[in-house]
Amino acid sequence: MNYLRTAMLLAGLTALFMGVGYLIGGAGGAMIALVIAAATNLFTYWNSDRMVLSMYGAHEVDRSSAPELVGLVAELAGRAGLPMPRVFLMDEPQPNAFATGRNPENAAVAVTTGLMRQLSREELAGVIAHELAHIKHHDTLLMTVTATIAGAISMLAQFGMFFGGNRDNNGPGIVSSILMMILAPIGAMLVQMAISRTREYAADNLGARIAGQPMWLASALVKIEGAAHQVPNAEAERNPATAHMFIINPLSGHGVDNLFATHPSTQNRVAALQQLAAELGAQASPSVGANENYPPRSPWGRSSSRGPSNGSANGSANGSARGPARGPWG
């Protein structure tokens, strides 16, 4: 993990938090905000996974309740050289997934029921491998802490709107308070984006290597991208500060919360995976939309007849909400 980059990111968010506190209550408000930020960081370090999983109503599953899913996670974790993470399922129709936890020993992978229904086993393997890559890169703590502080900045800015600034401490007044309410969350989002793109590309690359076939992840990304704009994720819309945690931005894009993208474009991510597939000597289509099955071999020691639905990631983008009528999970 790049500790300098992490420290800079958290310092930037803390500075934003203190700046909003200063606008609300002057020097005293800034100090209070600093104390709150420190307490938030400490609390989030120990409770980040429980907070986010609870927010999305995720429930833990095991080999008795979800044997295929848990078995797949266990196999891929072994290939990645990681401890077995806890596995959670979210009752959410939008296909998506995220990982969380303060370190690999206390990590969790969460997938939606929509992801289970719409992806083939190979595509799901690509998605889970991507999330395991985040765990191996120690991204999960950073993502959750960032989401928590960014959300706190947004709430504090809105809270300050009710006070209209602290005029006794040369506060900004009502006009500047309105600007603060608008600009502070945007500033927090920009800080979040500072590492988001390289983090996603790195997780795609390592995840593809863990799964053994880059095009499985490429197909899954395009399918999820299309569905994310057709199937709203209500909880994500209420908590846009957590959007960067998901493998694909879960926001519908209908509001200003999608003014800045939290992820690289799916097209660019797929192109990078195609290039990796060529470098690894894997079977890669000239176009992700090519109507053919991706390699039938499976990294779990047996052949698999299930490739991406119709073998077409581009077709998934045009009709990803329908995808396969049912996935390989029942």
Residue 107, beta-bridge partner list: 101
Residues that are catalytic: 131
* Rounded average pLDDT over 87-115: 95
Give residue 19's pLDDT band: very low, low, confident or very high (50, 70, 90): confident
Residue 326 lies in a domain: no
Q: Considering its fold, how many domains does the chain have in total?
A: 1
Q: Do the domain assignments include residue 328?
A: no
Mean pLDDT throughout 81-102? Answer: 96
Rounded distance between C-alpha atoms, residue 296 and residue 274, angstroms: 17
Least confident of 111-115, 205-209, 284-288: 284-288
User: Given this model, what pLDDT does residue 150 score?
Assistant: 67
Instruction: Give the per-residue pLDDT at 143.
Output: 72
User: Has residue 325 been placed in a domain?
Assistant: no
> What pLDDT does 210 receive?
97
Q: Are 25 and 169 in contact (CB under 8 A)?
A: yes
Residue 183 in 3-state DSSP?
helix
- Domain span at residue 54 reads 3-319
* Pairwise CA distance, residues 321 & 290, whole Å: 19
**Residue 319: which pLDDT band, with cuts at 50, 70 and 90?**
very low
- Whether residue 220 lies inside any domain: the answer is yes
Report the relative pairing of strands 97-101 and 59-61 from DSSP bridges.
Answer: unpaired
**324 located within any domain:** no
Pick from 29-43, 69-83, 306-320 the range whose average pLDDT is largest. 69-83
* Residue 303, amino acid: S
For residues 116 and 18, the model is more confident at 116
